[in-house]
Amino acid sequence: PDVGMACVGGGSNAIGFFFDFLTEPGVRLVGVEAGGRGLGRGDHAARFEGGRLGVLQGSKTYILQNPDGQIELTHSVSAGLDYAAIGPEHAYYRDQGRIEYAYACDDEVIKTFQLVSRLEGILPALESTHALVHGLKRASELRKDQVVVINLSGRGDKDVNQIARMLNVAL
């Protein structure tokens, strides 16, 4: 069967999980960025949704910046996605139309982290949980013979204290 979608959580600088799929035209690639508290200035780290082309630290890529080119503040429940720029490889493949990008907001990420932890018994990294949010939303749109592949790139035990703080739960 065709792969309906391959998702990876967020905006690391490396193309990683997508690399082996780049030359497979039947595979739809979707990266998921940090929508944070929403798409207001300083409330997210969704560089494609709210950024524009610029240069930061020697890389031409999409950056969250104000009209004067100053770097905007960012926010994400995931420290690993809380950065104003996206890796230049991601920018290149997005501009080529090869990889699509969506975003997941903090509240969705927290709910999905809880769901996957309860149902699957695993603690996904918050970065990867962004991809789970999008993958779960899109899976209902696919045919039964299509497959969703989601890269769980790390362990969420490092994120348990962050989740507990956000849920106001004592550990």
Q: What is the pLDDT of residue 135?
A: 92
148, 5 contact by CB (below 8 A): yes
Residues 6+ apart with CB under 8 A from 165: none
What is the pTM for the complete model shown? 0.90
pLDDT, mean of each 10-residue run, the chain (171 residues): 52 74 90 95 95 93 95 94 92 95 96 95 93 91 86 86 87 74
Output the pLDDT for position 146: 85
d(C-alpha 137, C-alpha 16), whole Å: 23
pLDDT for res 12: 52
Please state the separation of Cα 96 from the chain's center in Å.
Answer: 19
Give ∠ CA 112-117-120 in degrees, rounded to 5: 105
* CB of 89 closer than 8 Å to CB of 119: no
